[in-house]
Amino acid sequence: MSSDSWRAFLPMLRAGDDLAKGQLVEAYFDYVYSALLRLSRLLNSKWYSPLPDVEIQELAEELAGLAFGKAFADIASFDESKSALPSWIVWKGRAALKGTVLKEIREAARHSRRGTPDLTEQGFAGEDASGAQPDPADEAVRRLSMAESDSRVRTILASMLPSHRQALTAAYLGAASGSSAVDVIATAMGTSKFAADSLLRRAVREFRRRWVAK
C-alpha cells in the first residue's frame, strides 16, 4: 500500500501549484510506473509478447507521464474518500492503455506473426468493434438504459464479498478477458493462477447471481 504523503500535496495540487505536481511525481513515480508496467507486460504477454520488454518499459513510461498529466488536469474531480491518489493515477493511466500500449502491441503483432488473433475484433472488454452507426432514438434509449445498468453494476460491486470484488476489479484493471484476467488476479492478489482462476469463477458467479436477482 502506498504511503499517505500524497494527502499533504492535495490542497496545493488543487490550487494548481506546479511544484506540488513535481513533488508528487518524485514521491510516487516508481509506484505508478511499476503498476502500469505490470499491466502493460500482462497485456503484451496476452498477445504472445510481440514487443520486447525494453519497448514495453518505454511505453509504460509514456503511459505513466500521461497518467500523471491526466490526473493533474482532472484533480478537481478526485475524491479521496473513494481511493488513494496514486491508485487513482494508475486508474487514469489504465484508461490510456488502449491508445498507447495496446496500439503498439497491435502494430507489432500484425507485423510479427501471421495467425495472431485480430486484436481489432477482440480488443478490450467493453469495446464495440462493429462500427455500425446506431439510430439516434435507439441510442437515446440505450444510453438511458445503460445509465441504470451502470448504477446497478456499481451497487453490486460495492455489496459483493471483498475478495470477489477485488478479483473483478483486478480483472477489470487488466482490461482483458480469459487467461490474462487470471494473470492479473494472481499478480494483484498474490495467489497462484489456479487459485486466481477459481476465485474469478466464483466472483463472476456471484456477480451474475446478483445481476439477475430482482
Partner 1 sequence: MTASPTGEDNDLEMTLKQIEAAYAAGDVPPPGLDEVVAQLAESPSGLTSDEFGRRRRRTLDQLSGNLQFGQLVRKRREVMGLEIDELAKRAKVRPSTLDELEQGDADLHTIDAVILGNLLYSLGLDALGIAERPLRELAEKHLTIYRAGPGQVFGRTRKAVRTHTRRRDLLGGIAEPDRDATRRAVETYLTEVRERLNELGTSQSR
Binders in 56-95 for partner 1, by CB under 8 A: 57, 61, 64-65, 68-69, 72, 74, 77-79, 82-84, 86-88, 90-91, 95
Q: Which is nearer to partner 1, 1 or 132 (CB)?
A: 1
How far, in Å, CA of 36 to CA of 43, rounded? Answer: 10
Task: Find cell 525494453 and name the residue.
Answer: 54
Q: Which is nearer to partner 1, 39 or 108 (CB)?
A: 39
Residues numbered 175-214 forming contacts with partner 1, rule: CB under 8 A: 175, 177-179, 181-182, 184, 187-190, 197, 200-201, 204-205, 207-208, 211
134 binds partner 1 (CB under 8 A): no
Cβ pair 28, 81 in contact under 8 A: no
Q: Which is nearer to partner 1, 137 or 158 (CB)?
A: 158
Where does residue 69 fall: left (phi above 0), alpha (psi -120 to 50 degrees), or beta otherwise?
A: alpha
Examine residue 10 and tell whether it contacts partner 1 (CB under 8 A): no
19 to 58, contacts with partner 1 by CB under 8 A? 19-23, 25-26, 29-35, 37-39, 57
Segment contacting partner 1 (CB under 8 A): 43-51, 101-109, 130-138, 174-182?
A: 174-182
Cβ proximity of 140 and 155 under 8 Å: no
Q: How many residues bind partner 1 (CB under 8 A)?
A: 84
Q: Distance (Å, rounded) from C-alpha 116 to C-alpha 99?
A: 20
The torsion region of residue 135 among left (phi > 0), alpha (psi -120 to 50) and beta comes to beta
- The phi, psi pair for 182, rounded to 5°, reads -65, -40
Nearest CB to partner 1, comparing residues 109 and 171: 171
Nearer to partner 1, 67 or 108 (CB): 67
Closest CA to 178 of 193, 192, 165, 191: 193
For partner 1, which is the closer residue by CB, 113 or 208?
208
> Least CB distance from residue 141 to partner 1, whole Å?
16
Which residues, other chains included, contact 132 with Cβ-Cβ below 8 Å and sequence gap of 6+?
none
The burial class, CB within 10 Å (0-12 / 13-18 / 19+), for 36 is buried
